């Protein structure tokens, strides 16, 4: 595993694609070099392998944060190409470390080397119409209880829902830039993510951990059994 990490780090230093293997699965990713001020950054990757992808995520962490956040990557028309869009930075000092984590149907997990990236005034990203649709319908995953829904250093704009550390999908109230507290009412655990027509397929997989930071990504909470319905009549 250490050998793989060294190879991936060398690829990053050379400015080329990052390729990391888990069995025959590959992630081809051109790392970000900057975050644009006042706009979203797009992260793309090609995922190749013999087995279907069940989960593709971008895990990111503001430099001063203790826990990761994640975004589910969306599969495009090219079934090997996946995209995620980061929230809009709120400060010229915003900096993050991110990595891609992919799991396939056979259980193989692939993790790219971490990339540190900061806001730069010269940074510019041309977003497509589909990218802009994704940017207006962001679902941010949390990895710890009590974690702020909006990552430090980012704006609230575009974030419409969160996934709690226990896997609960929670819709956020519309409007406002202040980071809201997690909603007390769970809208759905297994239901669909917020609709985003034309955004591509959102791959909400069953992956609940990574080999990189297992202490910050909790195990799934078991679903409680359904209680039998008791008759209300009096016999």
pLDDT in tens, 122-179: 999 999 999 999 999 999 999 999 999 999 999 999 999 999 999 999 999 876 554 4
| CA atoms of 79 and 77, how far apart (whole Å) | 6
Q: What topology does CATH give the domain 2-207?
A: Immunoglobulin-like (2.60.40)
SS3 at position 59: strand
Question: Which carries the bigger pLDDT value, residue 73 or residue 208?
Answer: 73
Domain boundaries along the sequence of the chain: 2-207
Backbone angles phi, psi at 118, to 5 degrees: -130, 165
In sequence order, the 6+-apart residues with CB closer than 8 A to the CB of 232 are: none
pLDDT, tens digit (0-9, with 9 covering 90-100), for 74-96: 998 878 999 999 999 999 999 99
């Amino acid at each position: 595993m250490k050998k793989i990490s060294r190879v991936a780090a060398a690829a990053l230093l050379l400015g080329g694609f990052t390729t990391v293997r888990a069995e025959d699965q590959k992630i081809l990713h051109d790392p970000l070099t900057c975050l644009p001020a006042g706009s979203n950054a797009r992260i793309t990757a090609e995922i190749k392998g013999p087995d279907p992808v069940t989960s593709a995520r971008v895990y990111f962490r503001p430099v001063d944060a203790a826990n990761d956040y994640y975004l589910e990557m969306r599969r495009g028309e090219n079934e090997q190409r996946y995209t995620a869009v980061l929230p809009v930075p709120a400060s010229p000092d915003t900096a993050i470390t991110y990595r891609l984590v992919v799991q396939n149907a056979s259980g193989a997990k692939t993790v790219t080397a971490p990339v540190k990236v900061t806001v730069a005034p010269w940074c510019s990203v041309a977003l497509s119409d589909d990218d802009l649709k994704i940017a207006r319908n962001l679902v941010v995953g949390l990895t710890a209880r009590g974690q702020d829904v909006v990552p430090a250093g980012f704006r609230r704009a575009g974030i419409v829902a969160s996934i709690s550390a226990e896997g609960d999908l929670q819709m956020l109230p519309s409007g406002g830039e202040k980071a809201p507290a997690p909603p007390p009412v769970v809208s759905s655990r297994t239901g669909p993510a917020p609709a985003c027509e034309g955004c591509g397929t959102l791959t909400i997989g069953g992956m609940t951990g990574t080999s990189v930071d297992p202490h910050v990504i909790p195990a799934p909470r078991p679903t409680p059994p359904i209680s039998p319905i008791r008759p209300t009549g009096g016999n």
